[in-house]
A and B are shown apart, each in its own frame.
Chain A
Amino acid sequence: MSQGDLQDSDVLILGGGLMGSTTAFFLRQQHGLSVTLLERELVGRQASGTNFGNVRRQGRELFQMPLANRARAVWGRVKELLGEDLEFVPYGHLRVCYTERQAAIIEQHAHDVRPLGLNLEILNARQLQQRWGIFSPGVVAGSYSPEDGHANPRLAGPAFARAARRAGARIVEHAEVVQVERDGLGFVAHTADGRRFRAAQLLVACGAWSKRLAEQFGEHAPLDPRGPQMGVTEPLPYAIGPSIGLSSPIEHEGLYFRQITRGNIVFGGGLKGPADAERVRAASRPDNILRQMRELRRFVPAFENVQLIRVWSGIEGYTPDWQPVMGHSARVNGLHYAFGFNGEGFAISPGVGETMAELIATGQTSIDLSRFAIGRFAGAVARAA
């Protein structure tokens, strides 16, 4: 394509993960702006497609709750919005623990989130055993969020992107952006194959790759790429409805699993694996896999006799304070960010998309995004310098 072909739209989104795809969808569906989304390869991969698939609200920082509630509302009507259910099952989210000390933290959390619209049911060891009958005796307590659940991350991102396209967004795959510059009318993105796209507003939603783009605009966002360690077992008779996580301050104990209706147990957690954003490689470490098996046996002894059939990883972006970068640029008008979700973005992604679309279209949002502002890292740079 020649340099002359400059394709204009109201909003340009860089990155076809869940944040970009949901934002594109809501920009079309609720605000009617013209949208172009550029994705380096295929939509909905890496962090968006390889994560666990939790639709979980409990256990988050309290200031994330409005976003999580907004997302949960979208999950509830995802079938009517997209025409497919993304295998979302609202069969609950259960969070359990091994120690009384952690039980107290869980109980306090239940108390704290109630005014924010999330009602958790506190369960003791006997109640957990009666209800699910799978846990080892070491599990002492838990909290159950009956309206949360899980969904299929392999389907979600591409489905939002397809729905955005049906609603009129231009979704361009295999479009690697090599440079973004500003002209009098807005931002111009140049792709590796020579195409140019222009819009007055730009959203950077490139996951672990966003740091470089933010730096282009003079903004610093410390972002560390890491790989989740995911696995799946052979199919078993379907019996476990909720998504279940083990809450622990010890990183290698913190596992989670869910059973999909096909019967397989999908699990993840523990230590992260190495990821190389430049080479687009993330690894499942063999020692991590074997440690996960040990912890899963400790958690649910019956897993001992099940076969693991596949492991995988992807590339996620982690920030030092474990909070995402989301909202306006602090320096450049018309520039917005949504990245660095620390392996916890899947559940809240439709809420992020709806909120970012609102912010881009109207200049404001009903949800307070100040805790996620990119400017919070500016001080750190100054100190480091």
Chain B
Amino acid sequence: MNSPLNPSPNAPLNAPRVIVVGTGPAGVRAAQVLVQAGLRPVVVEENARDGGQIYRRQPLGFKRPYTKLYGSEAAKAQALHRDFEALRPHLELHTDTLAWNLTAGELHVVREGQPQTLPFDALLVCSGATDRLMPVPGWDQAGCYSLGAAQIALKAQACAIGRQVVFMGSGPLLYLVASQYQQAGARVAAVLDTAPARKSWAALRGLLARPRLALRGLALMQGLRRAGVPLLQGVSPLRIEGDAALGVQAVVVKDARGASHRFECDAVGLGWHLRAEAQLADLGGCQFDFEPLSRQWLPRIDSDGRSSQAGLYLAGDGVRILGADGAEAAGRLAALAALADLGHAQGQALHASEAPALRQTLARMDRFRAGLAQAFPWPHAQAASLPDEAVVCRCEGITAGTLRHCVSELDSHELNRAKAFSRVGMGRCQGRFCGHAAAEVVASQCGLPIEQVGRLRSQAPVKPLMMNTREVQP
């Protein structure tokens, strides 16, 4: 592989080329550090506007106030948007641009069919997260959305996913989105949490790392209860009922005592925390480690966000799910680390002075993350107990039974093997939404610990690429 024309990173007069992918909290704070250090970073954003997901900006022309859009987080959202506006003249912004591939020293992007190769000395990937989904029998019917998609519909388009919505899953986003729907005037038919109501001491200790945030979560739950929304904890999802003509019509669960409940609805929002969008890190050859608490593979980073690949830095929910505040701190720290590594004098000084406090902030947030993962666990046993006919991979219509057949009849004791035999994870989403659950089904059928069946390897393009994409113009 030919490496591009890298100027010596130690030459102070030769400004290093730094790229930031993503303009959520991590990306904006990373770009801010780079601009403050006198660089002119290239910033690549997949959406039409900056802001990312949690502080997603409404389309131009929409005029809802910050308090209505972002609730208790309005001030932070406003500050982030304002700060990015101020940075705009000092950076090269590519919006509506997909970073579709990554090779040694080069990021490959495309905008409306026009590709470009962007060489870099340092790349900061702040790619964010998407919902982590656990299959439920019947979730492949029309009217099933992820919690994130339900929130985007509200934030971006001011519309709800249904008139009568059941939210099911676990984690903070479950209560946040349900509250936002309830406040926006949608009828929330039920909030169904798979996590037990009683939290372990270890979980509570972790949550106390950010007491205000923990209290805010409790307040959301109380608000929903006061509004008369049925709120069940410790449920086992049984099925989503519906038909081809009308889509989903009801959600049936078993409560902690074993009693069945049926909630009528015309839409369902599902989600169990988030999963890192780590495809670019994977394509870049970064090492991944298994994180036992959340039972997922995450790119390896050091305390400052350096990946295992020189010049490649990872920050925000795309590498550790610490939430928006954590992403802001991680973005700043990773950019400082990049500057320090590039031999940038001012960056080295700033890194030396700021890094200890930022690391401390991140460590506290990581304790909170661990607490959340314990308080609202990924219900992996649910994957093991899925009926054979339940669809796991919605793109390709691959059932739990097909995956189990791959293990028991075709000797696939590794996830990519099961993919090769069954097509699981081979559809439009490339396993981003089914990969974790598929791994659980395969592992339980093999009788192996989940980390021993591996993880789906990422392959380019990061997201589908139109075949009308032209060639790079020299």
Taking beta carbons and an 8 Å cutoff, which residues of A are in contact with B? 42, 49, 154-155, 158, 162, 232-235, 262, 274, 283-287, 289-291, 293-294, 296-297, 303-312
Contact = CB atoms under 8 A, between A and B. Distances in A.
Given A233-B467, A283-B103, A296-B467, A289 B421 contact: no
Interface residues of B, number: 31
A52 to B, nearest CB: 15
Contact of A286 (B103, B410, B421): B103
A286 B466 contact: no
Contact of A309 (B411, B417, B461): B461
20 contacts: A158-B410, A158-B411, A232-B426, A235-B427, A262-B423, A286-B101, A289-B101, A290-B469, A293-B467, A293-B469, A294-B470, A294-B471, A303-B467, A305-B467, A307-B464, A308-B464, A308-B467, A309-B464, A310-B459, A310-B461
Contact of A304 (B101, B108, B468): B468
B282 to A, nearest CB: 13
A291 B471 contact: yes
Given A162-B410, A233-B467, A154 B460 contact: no
Given A154-B420, A310-B430, A290 B467 contact: no
Nearest to A154: B420
Contact of A155 (B396, B421, B466, B471): B421
Given A286-B101, A293-B469, 7 more contacts: A42-B414, A233-B467, A286-B108, A289-B101, A293-B467, A306-B467, A311-B459
Contacts of B461: 308-311
A261 to B, nearest CB: 12
Contacts of A262: 396, 423
Given A284-B460, A287-B472, A290-B471, A309 B428 contact: yes
Interface in B347-384: none
B465 A283 contact: no
Nearest to B461: A308
Interface in B98-134: 101, 103, 106, 108, 115, 117
Most buried by A among B430, B461, B470: B461
Contacts of B414: 42
Q: Which of A162, A233, A290, A294 has the most CB of B within 10 A?
A: A290
B1 interface: yes
Contacts of A233: 467
A307 B466 contact: yes
Given A234-B428, A262-B423, A309-B428, A286 B117 contact: yes
A274 B3 CA distance: 13
B428 to A, nearest CB: 6
Interface of B: 1, 101, 103, 106, 108, 115, 117, 396, 410-411, 414, 417, 420-421, 423, 426-428, 430, 459-461, 464-472
A162 B410 CA distance: 8
A285 B460 CA distance: 10
Contacts of B471: 287, 290-291, 294
Contacts of A290: 115, 469-472
A335 to B, nearest CB: 30
Contacts of B472: 287, 290
Contacts of A305: 466-468
A305 B464 CA distance: 12
A297 B468 contact: yes
A289 B469 CA distance: 10
Nearest to B285: A281
B422 to A, nearest CB: 10
Contacts of B410: 158, 162
A7 B214 CA distance: 62
B83 to A, nearest CB: 33
A283 B101 CA distance: 12
B1 A274 contact: yes
Contact of A312 (B103, B115, B459, B465): B459
Contacts of A155: 420-421
A226 to B, nearest CB: 13
A309 B430 contact: yes
The 7 closest A-B pairs by CB, nearest first: A307-B464, A154-B420, A308-B465, A304-B468, A286-B108, A290-B471, A306-B467
